[in-house]
Amino acid sequence: MRFYFDYISPYAYLAWRRLPAIAARHGEAIVPVPVVFGALLSAHGTKGPAEVPAKRRYVLKDVYRKARLAGVPFMLPSAHPFNPLLALRASSLALADDAQHRLIDAVFAAIWQVGEGIETPGAVSRLAAAVGLDGDAIERAAAEPDAKARLRAQTDEAIAAGVFGVPTIAVDGELFWGVDALDLLDAYLEHREPVPAELVARWEALPASIQRRM
């Protein structure tokens, strides 16, 4: 299963904490795919929750409630929105699976569990070193053009696959968006998909009888 995420999303943090148990239960491997959430929004002509004041306030309460119910530690970061690009590029490097997962664990925990910022020089290096990686080498590589191109390519791939938000999990061509979709993902992997293909085809063919004026 492909896990499309951006560190800027607290929902991606909650999903990352819950997803391993679902993957293990069904014998699935998690393939993390860092993407730029802002680019997804631009591609689909939408706004992020932090850009809509009413949503921004709601999201804090919603995430905190979900974290408490799931028993997942949660703390506000030092700023939001923040610039996640260096951390996303570092997490996109050609690392061994275990090393990549450890780095992602460390970055998510620093932001949403400890409340640290990741934008200051050396922050990514320090987090990588804390999980047994060569932090200086990773931070240097993350600043190189190849790392920037890799993150752009992953984001473009996500957009082409129909991904419009984070977190999104892709399995067998099916997309499951948001932490609320994890239970639906679990059911799908148990072959309990309730949506018939003909219903989807009918939905896609329905005409629009009104257009909203922007």
CB-CB contact of 134 with 98 (8 Å): no
The total number of structural domains that make up the chain: 1
**Residue 162 forms part of a structural domain:** yes
Residues, the chain: 214
Pairing of strands 174-177, 2-5: unpaired
**Residue 172 forms part of a structural domain:** yes
Give me the pLDDT at residue 1, please. Answer: 97
Which residues in 81-113 are b (16+ Cβ under 10 Å) and which e? eeebbbbbbbbbbebeeebbbbbbbbbbbbbbb
Give me the pLDDT at residue 117, please. Answer: 87
Give me the pLDDT at residue 212, please. Answer: 82
Structural domain that includes position 95: 2-205
Give me the pLDDT at residue 211, please. Answer: 87
DSSP for residue 81: S
**Residue 14 forms part of a structural domain:** yes
**Residue 35 forms part of a structural domain:** yes
**Residue 159 forms part of a structural domain:** yes
pTM of the predicted model, to two decimals? 0.95
Give me the pLDDT at residue 213, please. Answer: 81
Radius of gyration of the chain (CA): 18
Q: How far apart are CA 55 and CA 57, in angstroms?
A: 5
**Residue 109 forms part of a structural domain:** yes
**Residue 212 forms part of a structural domain:** no
User: Which residues of the chain are under the pLDDT cut of 70?
Assistant: 214
Give me the pLDDT at residue 176, please. Answer: 98
**Residue 210 forms part of a structural domain:** no
Residue 87: which CATH number?
Answer: 3.40.30.10
Query: CA–CA distance from 145 to each of 58, 86, 101, 136 (Å)?
Result: 38, 12, 23, 17
